[in-house]
Amino acid sequence: MLGQRQQEKLDRLFQLIDIDRSGFIEFSDMQGVMNHTLAQDDHAAGSPVFDAAEVMLRWLWEAIKGEADTDSDEKISAAEWTAMWTAQLANDNDAIFEDLPALVRRVHLIVAQAMGINANRGADLAAYQRFLTPYGDAVTAGAEAAFSQLDLDGNGLISIEELQQLTAEYFLSNSDAPGNSLFG
């Protein structure tokens, strides 16, 4: 069973991804978030970065759809979203990143790509702000405060290792962990 804080974060994430405000998450919502994020870095459709992101997004969508779309209507309702995460996160409250459900690790990879994080490069405040841009002004307004919590070592960058910890915290924590600020 999800804790109250987990449920609040997952409800908020659902609302952020549902960019057309239809009450459902569809592939087009996820594409809209991706397209907006990539446009912030001038990656147009057909570019290698865009094409790689499209493959990863399809991979994530198929995983989410396979776990959540219980009525096979090609969209995820809030109830399906909650049921999926309840099943995915059952009994993982103390898991380390490598032991997290595959779906959480997929989300991590998409977030890392969207922020431009890899083994050799972290994301600075500007990259984090660009990552949040598709979610609207209300979210980006708090980016600086959120980033200061997410930059665990205080070096001005979110590293791949920090992002792993933050992703685990976002999905598993019921406390005031820094990872709770991952999506603003």
Mean pLDDT for all residues in the chain = 88
Q: What is the mean pLDDT of residues 164-182?
A: 90
**pLDDT over 60 (residue 15):** yes
For domain 4-173, the CATH class is mainly alpha
pTM score, two decimals?
A: 0.83
Tokens of 141: 């307004």
Question: Which sequence spans correspond to the domains of the chain?
Answer: 4-173
The residues near 15 (Cβ < 8 Å, ≥ 6 apart) are none
Which conformational region is residue 23 in: left (phi greater than 0), alpha (psi within -120 to 50 degrees), or beta? Answer: left
Tokens of 35: 């397209």
Which pLDDT band holds residue 10 (cuts at 50, 70, 90)?
Answer: very high
Residue with tokens 């959120």: 146
Q: What is the pLDDT of residues 82-102, one digit of tens each?
A: 999 998 887 555 555 666 778
Give the residue with greater pLDDT, 119 vs 13. 13
Residues in the chain, total: 184
